[in-house]
Amino acid sequence: MSRVQQFTRRTVLSAAAVLAAARVPRAQEAGPRVATLDWALLETLLAIGANVVAATELRQFRQVAIKPDVPEGVADLGLRGTPNFEVLRFARPDLILNSNFYAWADPLMSRIAPVESHPIYKPGESPYLLAEQATLAIGERLQRPAAGRMVEELAARLDRYKNLFARGDGRPVLPINLGDARHYRVFGSDSMFGEVLKRVGLANAWTGATSYSAMAPMGIETLASMPDAWIVLIPPHPQDAFEALAESAFWKALPAVRENRVLAVGSINPYGALPAASRFADFLAEGFSRVRNG
């Protein structure tokens, strides 16, 4: 029997039901045609039912972020690092939303349509607050009332989870992403996952700072320096990496593993906005209540 709390099909379905309950509106009444290079903005736009016509790396987005669904007709602009501006042009957007990550593209894109920038990851600022601001601003710009509802509903839900987790074991949580069997990436207090932990009243086991763009990989042996924590494994990770890790003596000897304090959740975009935060919170709630109920 695996020591890791794996999600069964049923629990994934129920988590999906929670997400669906957030009443994602459809883009039937087509608003302005919008395009974006940034995945965090893409998931925000999809979640509030905006009329998205073009976005980057959709194949990868469907595998990593998974939700919200990307409608079939959305044009794929290619890699985030090298978006295809001609495809963007052919998509005829009325508005392009961009973030500070791809600011270099603003002058080129402003020839196609007005560009509005909404940063979500900035050094020293809370990505959750920035994501809230961006969601509200975009909602207002596109006249999607769903944006305001999403912000309020998620805040309320995180409050509910706070009460739920207050009845838990009070241990800190370490959200990690496996790179290979010997390295992982950690999400500090300045990451979206770190923000969610703070808002649901859980302590982040990782107290060091993480740089806002990407985290230098940590050696797996550093897991031993956080013996009290719950380990939350966030995919995507190479399948063989997880299998090799689960077999190793070191992993089996970790207190968290011996005491069944490892949660494997579904794949989440690590640089997401509110939909990613919501997904992470739901996975946590689902995982912890499952553990408690046996």
Partner 1 sequence: MRTGLPHLLPAAALGIACIVSFTLLLAFRPHVPGEPGTAAVLDAILLWNSLLPRAAIALIAGAALGLAGALLQRVLRNPIADASTLGIASGAELAQTLGLGFLPLLTGISRELLAFAGGFTAVAIVLALSWRRGLDPVTVAISGMIVSLIAASLSVTLVLARGEYAMSIHIWGAGALNQQDWSGVISLAPRLAAGILAAALLLRPLNVLALDDSSARSLGVALHGVRFSILVLAVWLSASVTATVGIIGFLGLAAPTMARFCGARTTGQVMMAAPLAGAAVLFLADCLTQLLGPGFSDLVPTGAATALLGGPLLLLLLPRVHGFSAVTATADAALRQLRKPAAALSLLAAALAIIFALVLTLSPTDKGWSVALGPLFSELLPFRLPRILAAGGAGAMLGAAGFIMQRVTGNPIASPEVLGVSSGGGAGLTVALFLFGFPSPAIMLLGMALGSLAAFLVMIAIAGRSGFSAERLLLAGIAISAFCMAIVSMVLAQGDMRSYILLTWMSGSTNRAGAFEAWTAMITLVVLTAPLFLMIRWLTILPLGTGVSRSIGLRVLPSRLVLAVLAALMTAISSFLVGPLSLAGLIAPHLARLIGFQKPHHQLAAAILIGAGVLVMADWLSRVVIYPYQVPVGLFAALIGGPYLLWLLGGKERSA
Interface region with partner 1, contact rule CB under 8 A, candidates 105-113, 125-133, 149-157, 280-288: 105-113
By C-beta, is 149 or 212 nearer to partner 1? 212
- Binding map of partner 1 across residues 20-59, x = CB under 8 A, - = no contact: -------------------------------------x--
Where does residue 194 rank: exposed (0-12), middle (13-18), buried (19+ CB within 10 A)?
buried
Q: Residue 178 Cβ, how far from partner 1 at the closest point, in Å?
A: 8
Q: Residue 135 Cβ, how far from partner 1 at the closest point, in Å?
A: 23
76 lies in the site for partner 1, by CB under 8 A:
yes
238 lies in the site for partner 1, by CB under 8 A:
yes
145 lies in the site for partner 1, by CB under 8 A:
no
78 lies in the site for partner 1, by CB under 8 A:
yes
72 lies in the site for partner 1, by CB under 8 A:
no
239 lies in the site for partner 1, by CB under 8 A:
yes
Distance CA 203, CA 45 (A): 30
Distance CA 126, CA 273 (A): 11
Using N-to-C axis directions, what is the helix angle for 9-21 and 274-292, rounded to 10°?
130
Residue from the set 6, 8, 82, 260 that interacts with partner 1 by CB under 8 A: 82
How many residues belong to the site for partner 1 (CB under 8 A)? 62
Distance CA 201, CA 182 (A): 30
| DSSP, res 5 | B
By C-beta, is 37 or 151 nearer to partner 1? 37
Distance CA 278, CA 213 (A): 21
Q: Residue 40 Cβ, how far from partner 1 at the closest point, in Å?
A: 13
Distance CA 137, CA 139 (A): 5
By C-beta, is 254 or 264 nearer to partner 1? 254
What contacts 55, CB < 8 A, 6 or more positions away? 35, 36, 37, 39, 42, 61, 70, 74, 75, 76, 77
End-to-end CA distance of the chain: 14
Q: Residue 83 Cβ, how far from partner 1 at the closest point, in Å?
A: 7
279 three-state secondary structure: helix
Residue from the set 145, 166, 209, 250 that interacts with partner 1 by CB under 8 A: 250
Distance CA 29, CA 212 (A): 37
What contacts 243, CB < 8 A, 6 or more positions away? none
Interface region with partner 1, contact rule CB under 8 A, candidates 14-22, 106-114, 162-170, 273-281: 106-114
Distance CA 156, CA 278 (A): 11
Per the CB < 8 A criterion, the answer to whether 278 and 149 are in contact is no
Interface region with partner 1, contact rule CB under 8 A, candidates 4-12, 125-133, 147-155, 250-258: 250-258
**In the block, residue with structure tokens 């797996």:** 220
Residue from the set 149, 182, 198, 290 that interacts with partner 1 by CB under 8 A: 182
Per the CB < 8 A criterion, the answer to whether 184 and 176 are in contact is yes
Instruction: List contacts with partner 1 (CB under 8 A).
Output: 57, 60, 64, 75-87, 89-90, 104-105, 107-108, 111, 177, 179-183, 185, 211, 213-222, 224-225, 227-228, 236, 238-241, 244-245, 247-251, 253-255, 270-271
